[in-house]
A and B are shown apart, each in its own frame.
Chain A
Amino acid sequence: MDKLRTYRNRQLKLGSSGKNALASRIAAVFLVSVLLLSACSKTVVIQGAVPTPLVSQIPLRLGIYYSDSFKNFSYEESLKSDGNWTIELGQQNVLFFRELFTTLFLEVIEVDQEQLSAETIQTLGLDGILVPEIEEYGFLTPGISGLNFYSASVKYNLRLLNGQASVAGEWHVVGYGKSEGGTFQGGEAVNSATLLAIRDGGARIAIDFPRQAFVKAFLASLDVVSAKEVVSDQD
């Protein structure tokens, strides 16, 4: 009788510990699944320093139109070897270009539409409207490139509208950046490579924008300053 009681107690104990073990296993499997799934998709919000460029000012009063597609630009890609990526670079790009254009041009006003009438442009006291757009973005992981670093490139299009609201010229600029990154530092490395790509694009705009033929012609047409003077400052 005593033996039977002991056996039942043991059964009861085993039963409760068995349930606990099962619950722990389910919890562990759930946790591992969540971790694995989150490891497969990465969202990188690009953030970093916004330097003030040290360049000659171009004597232009420009309206800058940042479209919604520019302000909210994000890139999504699904990579077999590296999972799903979402890279949000619009906000950082707006911050960067605000600082760049404010320093590069004599006066800058942000406008809320690209197609302003000639009268509105004149009323605002502007020489023209500049519209930056991101045309392409791309990045490479070491898994794809076979190299030891992450790289990113951003292709911009800068469209300059004159005082009559017609296109004075367009310019395509590509910024490139790369960054070292370890196995578990992919997000950080993509952030760093993208920041360098934005910086590189910005550096080209700061130095080479006034050298473009259509910009020189635009400056000459306004007769605000000799185009030669602005360009020679930065040569």
Chain B
Amino acid sequence: MIRTRSFLFAFLYLGVVVLLSGCVSSRIEQSRQRITGLAKGEAAVILGRATYNDRETEESFTTCLGNSLITGTPPIRVISQAEFRDDLYPWFEARTSPKSASDLGELFAQPGVQDRIRQANIRYLAWIEGDTVTVDSGGSMSCTISTFGGGCFGMSYWEQDASYEASIWDLHNLSAAGQISADANGTSYIAGLIVPIPILARPGNAACQGLAEQLRQFILGG
């Protein structure tokens, strides 16, 4: 009897988890220009490309990528964006950072830059461009609260599209090593049945996990 009940609970829990996570479809593509590899102790830096227009790579995305590379198997040593930018100030600010790998030679000619990068043993720079945007939304839901209680009724949805590209630069050869792109799309829902029940798709997270895994293989040369 107890066993049957625990099975029932497990089944219900699984059902709720499945219901609460929406569907996400994702696609990862890669183009390699150079043979890559990472020696012991060498590190990578993940940098979000800052622009002055109305769109910018979210800091949470680059943090997610960095954490996935540090904690995955095998782990990769990643130097944080803030630490790297402070160490090499003013050469990696929004307005002064190199726009392409061909600018690296000029940057390395600046006093102290090459030494600072060698000391930190940084082999790769990965520039992340892209963002997650809501492309469609609809439905309606209203919630009321009164002295007799409250509740929500209706349904709303929103579709998000996450599109990111990583450009990887090899700082040993001062050249571009390749690009990886990740696209993910998913629709989230909130159904109001007295209690609002969210069914969330997280395309940004899916793009982060997919890109991190591909980036790891790319850097390690697998």
Q: A179 CA to B57 CA in the complex, in Å?
A: 11
Contact indicator B86/A51 (Cβ below 8 Å): yes
Our pick among A52, A148, A199 for the contact of B93 (Cβ within 8 Å) is A199
When the two chains form their complex, are residues B54 and A54 in contact, meaning their CB atoms are under 8 A apart? no
Interface residue A204 (Cβ < 8 Å from any Cβ of B): yes
Q: What would 12 more interface pairs be, CB under 8 Å, given A51-B85, A54-B110, A233-B111?
A: A53-B89, A54-B87, A54-B111, A55-B90, A55-B110, A55-B111, A56-B111, A178-B52, A178-B56, A200-B94, A203-B89, A234-B110
Asked, given contacts A49-B82, A234-B110, whether A54 binds B91 with beta carbons under 8 Å apart, the answer is yes
Q: Return chain B residues, CB-CB under 8 Å to A55.
A: 90, 110-111
- Asked if A206 meets B56 with Cβ closer than 8 Å, knowing A54-B116, A200-B95, A234-B110, the reply is no
Chain B 31-73 near chain A by CB (<8 Å), digits 1 or 0: 0000000000000000000001010101110000000000000
Instruction: Please give the distance in Å from A225's CB to the nearest CB on chain B.
Output: 15
With CB as the reference atom, state the residue of chain B lying closest to A57: B111
Within 8 A of B (CB), among A180-217: 180, 196, 199-200, 202-204, 206-207
Cβ–Cβ contact A54 & B88, under 8 A: yes
Q: Which residues of B contact A206 (CB under 8 A)?
A: 90
A183 to chain B, nearest CB (A): 16
Interface string of A134-177 (1 = CB under 8 A from B): 00000000000001110000000000000000000000000011
The 6 closest A-B pairs by CB, nearest first: A203-B90, A51-B89, A51-B86, A203-B93, A54-B112, A206-B90
Q: Is B10 positioned at the interface, with any CB of A under 8 Å from its CB?
A: no
A199 to B85, CA, bound (A): 11
Contact present for A49 and B58 (CB under 8 Å): no
| B interface majority secondary structure | loop
| Chain B residues near A202 (CB-CB < 8 A) | 89-90
**A235 and chain B: residue at smallest CB distance:** B106
B93:A54 contact, CB within 8 angstroms: no
> Interface residues of A, CB < 8 Å — how many?
25
Q: Is B4 an interface residue (CB 8 A)?
A: no
Complex CA–CA separation, A73 to B207 (angstroms): 43
Q: In the docked arrangement, what's the CA distance between A53 and B106, Å?
A: 17
- Encode B134-169 as 1/0 by CB contact (under 8 A) with A: 000000000000000000000000000000000000
A207 pairs with B96, CB closer than 8 A: yes
- Complex contacts, B120 vs chain A, CB 8 Å: none
Q: Does B113 contact A (CB under 8 A)?
A: yes
Q: Kindly report which residue of chain A lies nearest to residue B97, judged by CB atoms.
A: A203
Q: A54-B111, A56-B111, A147-B54 are in contact. Are A204 and B89 (CB under 8 A)?
A: no
- A177 CB contacts on chain B under 8 angstroms: 94
A51 to B54, CA, bound (A): 27
What are 17 A-B pairs with beta-carbon distances under 8 A? A51-B89, A52-B89, A53-B90, A54-B87, A54-B111, A54-B113, A55-B90, A55-B111, A147-B54, A176-B52, A178-B56, A180-B60, A199-B90, A200-B93, A203-B90, A204-B95, A207-B96
Interface string of B193-219 (1 = CB under 8 A from A): 000000000000000000000000000
B95 near A203 with CB under 8 A, answer: yes
Residues on B with beta carbons closer than 8 Å to the beta carbon of A200: 93-95
Q: Please, which residues of chain A bring their CB within 8 A of the CB of B89?
A: 51-54, 199, 202-203
CB-based nearest B residue for A56 = B111
**A residues near B113, Cβ cutoff 8 Å:** 54
Structural contact, A180 and B59, CB atoms closer than 8 A = yes
Shortest Cβ gap from B144 to chain A (Å): 20
- Complex interface: chain B residues within 8 A of A149 (CB): 56
- Chain A nearest CB from B106 CB (Å) reads 8
Shortest A32–chain B CB gap in Å is 15
Q: Which residues of A contact B85 (CB under 8 A)?
A: 51
Q: Residues of A contacting B60 with CB < 8 Å?
A: 180
Closest to A179 in B: B59
Q: For A180, what are the chain B residues with a Cβ–Cβ distance below 8 Å?
A: 56, 58-60
User: CA of A148 to CA of B58 in the docked complex: distance in angstroms?
Assistant: 11
Output the least CB separation between A145 and chain B (Å).
8
Shortest Cβ distance from B116 into A: residue: A54
Assembly CA distance A180 to B111 (angstroms): 33
Nearest chain B residue, comparing its CB with the CB of A202 = B90
